[in-house]
Structure 1
């Protein structure tokens, strides 16, 4: 049947583009004695001979499938008695559906089939006793019909006991999947820390690179905000200056990952460990975005403070022409709960460039849900020209929510800033980027020091 006469939807037509792969797998499943199985074996730097003399058989027995997927150890002992082979290929049903041609010219919508093994199923679900039984029955730890080994499955799901079993039975800690990932690259959750420890004890390469993204395990730990993994890899000599295909070091990677409010602390801890180990805050990625640019973009105040204490430059621009201040102001509208006002204050105290006065009404429009951000930003100016446009850019509901602040702001249209504020601006101008270090040395009362450092008051005067 030609594409021109195909009568299904565009979605169905697009699914035909991937049918070739599925049909090849079906042909492979029907002929277990063919050499096609070799194309599914893991590509390894140091290949070892497989212990099986014959290609594994394809298992369609639902009783076996049920025992494997439920972790029924007693059933597995009956199904795999002493002397039997545990090297089987299992076709498990995936969650995606696609159009499949089972006979010439006849198409049906069915669930995608995924190739796996009993060892993969047990390791991926944490059935350690079932895994032990299969290993004792001679299951091949390097079998990889879908492109990854059972050890990859165990590490991805954080099942440390299963990973330890596989390693003790000869699984390679540096096996590379068809996607170019080693087991350490699969350790992406806090639960996988023990897996990472076992892998390193069994000789995993701490600086191994992934094929597509060129990430090291330290990049992966940084991207997922994993302090325990980061500390572990640094202890084993992980390189701090390695760049991935985006030009990012692990520190860049930790700062650039989108972060939910509850995850900010974990990413801060990762950055703290990397900086303590000697990571460079001045290294930019391929777009010349420094760690500070990305920490501001993801609105992580503690990480920004940390980077500034380590000498990060507040006015370096990336290739898009954005300084860190631009990045945080762009993010205020949808990350107001991350306390962006703290970042704006820290940048200004370290000598950041200010917003062009003519653009302040636009900033007010997009940042009005965070009045403290507006407050600290406007307190960096000795004079403001408040017009009707400013009032129009604050929606009525936002004005009512923060009525006290916006009434104090719009009242500035009637007169100049206070003498106290003008004195603050003058002193800050003299000190420049030395404000954070110089103000504590002036011997002023605490409330005056805080005033000079743009402490929040929830009104302007």
Structure 2
């Protein structure tokens, strides 16, 4: 009664001063509400107040104690320093439009701009009578949103004030499906806050159950996200659509599966939910269940016909995703229903590779009998590499005992991802200074000389004495006959000719100087002097032999000849250097070129490459004209040799 009388005083203060209060004492709240609505309808066409009214004292309720993890939007005036599209400027709740405004606003005057604040305060505490009075006050605009776009109906839904919702919808029915700045309706908010009574009331009063917010999430999606079976059942009873996709492609079934709620999944399937719906990444509900380890819903989906070999858009399977996330029960369940363990994902890896990398012994033990070793070889990488790289020694031992090849080598493509061009599992373990893994691999027959850069060199550089000892005991070659790193550089364009350009030639060479003397004197070190150092001299023969494969006719200086003469097996290298000019003559004859002064003319090193008997390049060449004879043509023929 007091609230209604206050409305009367505000609407017509002069008439109200002579009114008899006793006329309304016997009316109930519903009768007062109907009377107020009838009077408000009669005054729709009346002119709005054109002057501020005297302030009427009101009792403000104490601030409510709301303990919520998510706060509702602020209702008081908030200053906005930099308004933009994400932070719009504060909108005024009321505007003054009188043609003759007063020069100054009295301090004791009543400001209509404060009415929405009072209205929201009344909604917060559930004072339905006060909400009724304020809602019917002339000049109150219930459709005017506050800063985040919230109307009073959104506030009532947030706090679960059903009585306030009834009043607001009675006064302004059109606000039931109005959205906030995020596209949320009052039904979205009620469902998200799990206010079931408010949600039912809104649905009974025209709320659309299929309206999506700006993330394209429906109230049903929110109910599944909240894992609330009662709300899901209620929305389905109101014929809510079950196959609506969010902005990222998720459906209500995806959310229910992720929450491992079989009850909700069953309701959704009965309502027509698609069991193989995909999101924008191609993920289906079963894939989501395997990813999150939701065993109950995973089993439910399999029983209802979901594909256990479902793949995401990038090619990863549900089994691979379960393996990656270490969902052991999910892996076991998928394998028991014949999930394919020999399909590769986006990185060309099998589930066993991923399990070995993670060091998950249980999953590795389940995948080993399901994995085809021939399929592993085609991947260009072994699970042993993955285990050795991550120091997963227990998994490494399991794989070796299961018969995986300790000498499996990385493919060229995968080896090129490492600067040192490593190839074997042994190299990974040596580089990681993992003595136990090195010993384990060697005991299972790992070879020590398969890598471009021998593991023995790596261990020596690290100063790992025990590793060096192990490698030597298992046949590591201390006298590398074919320096692989130098060969790799030569294959990629390193010039070999400067190594034989010694200015002294066959003349006697001066005594060797130390490196410190060379630096002090500023003298550039020659190749023949460099290989004469104690650390390199034992490899002179193999190095020179390799370099001769990349040059034409050269003359060995006296110091190089001295080194080659020091070991009887290197005598063939001297003969090889003397034969380097013969292919040049064969080339000139085959090309039909006449050279009257063949002893004076010299070919470029590129054109004087070595012709291997097995390829017989000269026998397959056709005579070409002088214009056709260019170094790159000859080089293209010679470069077919596989070094």
Query: TM-score band, normalised by the shorter chain?
Result: 0.5 to 0.7
| Structure-2 separation of matches of 1:67 and 1:285 | 57
Name the structure with the higher strand share: 1
| Structure-1 separation of matches of 2:410 and 2:344 | 18
- What is the DSSP-based 3-state SS (H/G/I as helix, E as strand, rest coil) of the residue aligned with 2:391? coil
Q: Which residue of 2 aligns with 1:74?
A: 197
The Cα of 1:296 is off from its aligned counterpart by: 2.0
Q: Which residue of 2 aligns with 1:172?
A: 274
Distance 1:70 1:376, change over 3 A: farther
Name the structure with the higher helix share: 1
The Cα of 1:318 is off from its aligned counterpart by: 0.5
Q: Which residue of 1 aligns with 2:425?
A: 324
1:202 aligns with 2:304: yes
For CA contacts below 8 A with separation 6 or more, give which structure has more relative contact order. Answer: 1
Structure-to-structure mapping, 1:9-408, within 5 angstroms = 59-60=179-180, 61=184, 63-81=186-204, 85-91=208-214, 114-146=215-247, 147-189=249-291, 191-211=293-313, 213-256=314-357, 259=358, 264=359, 267-276=360-369, 278-284=370-376, 288-319=380-411, 320=415, 321-330=422-431, 341-354=435-448, 356-364=455-463, 375=466, 378-382=469-473
| Structure-2 separation of matches of 1:285 and 1:152 | 36
Q: Is the 8 A contact 1:85 1:138 kept in 2?
A: no
Unaligned runs of 5+ in 1: 1-56, 92-113, 333-339, 366-373, 385-461
Q: Is the 8 A contact 2:178 2:185 kept in 1?
A: no
The Cα of 1:290 is off from its aligned counterpart by: 1.4
Q: Is the 8 A contact 1:167 1:202 kept in 2?
A: no
Q: Which residue of 1 aligns with 2:36?
A: none
The Cα of 1:82 is off from its aligned counterpart by: 9.0
Q: Is the 8 A contact 1:210 1:216 kept in 2?
A: yes
| Structure-2 separation of matches of 1:133 and 1:249 | 44
Q: Is the 8 A contact 1:208 1:217 kept in 2?
A: yes
Distance 1:195 1:241, change over 3 A: same
Distance 1:249 1:189, change over 3 A: closer
| Structure-1 separation of matches of 2:374 and 2:392 | 18
Q: Is the 8 A contact 2:323 2:331 kept in 1?
A: yes
Q: Is the 8 A contact 1:151 1:183 kept in 2?
A: yes
The Cα of 1:142 is off from its aligned counterpart by: 0.7
The Cα of 1:303 is off from its aligned counterpart by: 1.9
| Structure-1 separation of matches of 2:310 and 2:427 | 36
Largest Rg, 1 or 2: 2
Unaligned runs of 5+ in 2: 1-176, 416-421, 449-453, 477-643
Distance 1:187 1:352, change over 3 A: same
Distance 1:298 1:150, change over 3 A: farther
Q: Is the 8 A contact 2:187 2:199 kept in 1?
A: yes
The Cα of 1:89 is off from its aligned counterpart by: 0.1
Aligned residues: CA RMSD: 3.2
- What is the DSSP-based 3-state SS (H/G/I as helix, E as strand, rest coil) of the residue aligned with 1:80? helix
TM-score for the superposition, normalised by structure 2: 0.40
The Cα of 1:160 is off from its aligned counterpart by: 4.2
Q: Is the 8 A contact 1:282 1:312 kept in 2?
A: no
